[in-house]
Structure 1
Amino acid sequence: MKYLTYAFVFFFFGCGKDDETLPAVDNNLHGKWQLEATKISPGGIVEDWTLVSNGAIIEFRSNGSYSDTAKACGGSVNGIYSTDEGILSLRYVCNGNSMEANFRMNFSDDRLILANVGCIEECSYRYRKLE
């Protein structure tokens, strides 16, 4: 009986899920998104979106992985993503180097708006959901 008590205590306290080790993801993000417009500033204020034809497609999966056809590394990119307080972090490997890109993320009129965290001027990308 003494060993059964220890086994129960070990099982009860040893089987918890450690939420801090799991990447946070935003469920609104799951699915495929296609780039439809950009706001890229050459140094001044940009008020209007510039439409993009045949924009890159990015797919966010529920397991925290993503793929992007933007050809950032000379081809499609596969990596992992996480979200935290409105910031989307994309991690991937490019030419053998670990890379990370961070974007302020918000949703407006069923569109995903990403803005580069490090941009001094406007650097925004608008995506529409495909599925």
Structure 2
Amino acid sequence: MKITYTSLLFFILLSAFQCQHQEDIKPRSENNAIVTGKWQLEEYYMSIGGPGSWTKADPAQPSIIEFKANGDYISGKEDCSGQYSVANGQDIIITVSCSTGYVKQSELIGKIQPTGELTIVPTSPTCIEGCSYKYKRIK
């Protein structure tokens, strides 16, 4: 009888935690909606051995990235694409593969700022001296 009560209590606790966990998870498309669309590079931060600075992007040669609702990421570079996901409702984790260039695989993390800008920072490989990119939504 004691084993039955223990098993029943364990099952109830497990069910309660499972229900709570399922309520916290939002559908992928709902999470991705915060970033879905096209974004244009506005400025970038680079440091080469000293203090870094923000530099305006060249509007004559726009760099545009796109996040699709299905989780696809399309880079401004023609030879790069990947997948993204939204964690914690705000961190955008992007995995990119490129067919050419020095870096074939990379991981980036992005966050939409209160100003509406999207800031992206490489996490693997990282920039030793520091780098960051700011994008503005265009569609």
TM-score range with shorter-chain normalisation?
0.5 to 0.7
AA matched with 2:40 = Q
Following TM superposition, the consecutive aligned residue runs of length 4 or more in structure 1 with deviations greater than 6 angstroms are: none
What residue is the counterpart of 1:84 in the other structure?
87
Q: Secondary structure at the match of 2:95?
A: strand
User: Which residue is equivalent to 2:67?
Assistant: 60
Q: Secondary structure, in 3 states, of the residue corresponding to 1:80?
A: strand
Is the 2:79–2:99 Cα contact (8 Å) retained in structure 1? Answer: no
RMSD: 2.9
More helix by share: 2
Change (3 A) 1:24 1:44: farther
Residue 30 of structure 1: aligned partner? 36
Kindly provide the amino acid, as one letter, of the partner of residue 61 in structure 1.
K
* Percent of residue pairs bearing the same amino acid type: 29
> Is the 8 Å Cα contact of residues 110 and 118 (structure 2) preserved in structure 1?
no
TM-score normalised to structure 2 length: 0.61
Counterpart CA distance in 1 for 2:55 and 2:120 is 15
Shift of 1:58: 0.5
Q: Which amino acid aligns with 1:107?
A: Q
Following superposition, the deviation at residue 76 of structure 1 comes to: 4.0
Q: Which of 40, 44, 57 is the aligned partner of 2:46?
A: 40
Q: Greater strand percent: which structure?
A: 1
Q: Show the 5 A alignment for 1:1-131.
A: 25-46=31-52, 48-53=53-58, 54-69=61-76, 71=77, 75-85=78-88, 86-94=91-99, 99-117=105-123, 118-131=126-139
**Which ranges in structure 2 are unaligned for 5 or more consecutive residues?**
1-21
Superposition TM-score, scaled by structure 1 size: 0.64
In 2, are the aligned partners of 1:67 and 1:76 still within 8 Å (CA)? no
